[in-house]
Amino acid sequence: MKKTLYIAAKVLRIAIMVLVGILVVVNVYLLIRRYAFHDPTPTVFGLASANVETGSMQPLINEDDFVFTRAQDSYAVGDIVMYQTTGSYGETIAVTHQIIEIDENGNYITKGVNNQDADIDPVSPEQVVGKVFAVWHGFGKVAAFFRSPAGICVLLIAAVGVWLLIDLIPGGKKKDIDEQEAGENN
């Protein structure tokens, strides 16, 4: 029994370390891209994510939802896409809207579902980050926290805490197995 617990604890430790390692590497990469290179929507293998900050896509996507996008070769009318544009202060921002038309130049005419009018500027294919394929409703603030330096620290502290809890499981240590086997041999 103790040997089974030991193996389970070892597998759990390895899984936690791999998961935390991946999360830390991806988050550090995203932080560097976002803050050092001023890329508001960095991608990893064509995937991107963002917090929704307005209600322009309600009722499909609400403020404080978290969206995931995947880059594609082409987009069609009806697709909900995230694209980069210039904000009112000259900063680059990410917008998530639906394609309602494709003009003669191949640019996309977009519109928020909750907006009365189409967006003023057409969106070039180069501006599109990707098509929305998943929405986590209400998860935007939580995701924003875990993407911050403080959130990464919390993830690391939680991983260490779980690691230490695994050590408290009876039979979860090699020492416990060695003691049990020594007792059986006497």
Tokens of 131: 């098509």
Show the DSSP H helices in 2-42 as ranges.
Answer: 2-31
* Average pLDDT rounded to a whole number, residues 57-61: 92
Closest alpha carbon to 115 in 90, 92, 98, 138: 98
What sign does the dihedral 172-176-182-184 (CA atoms) show?
negative
Is the pLDDT reported for residue 11 higher than 80?
yes
- Provide the CB-side half-sphere exposure for 16 (13 A, CA): 18
Render pLDDT for 13-26 as a digit per residue (tens, 0 to 9).
Answer: 888 888 878 877 88
Q: Please state, in angstroms and rounded to a whole number, the distance separating the CA atoms of residues 34 and 28.
A: 10
* pLDDT tens figures, 112-132: 999 999 999 999 999 999 999
Per-residue pLDDT of 61-80, as tens digits, reads 999 999 999 999 999 999 99
> In the numeric block, which tokens belong to residue 155?
């993830």
| Pairwise CA distance, residues 128 & 74, whole Å | 10
Which token pair is 135? 């929405």
SS3 of residue 108 by DSSP:
strand
- Model pLDDT for residues 145-171, shown as the tens digit of each residue: 877 788 878 878 887 887 787 777 665
pLDDT at 35: 81
Report residue 48 as tokens. 């991107």
Cis peptide bond N-terminal to 59, omega within 30: yes
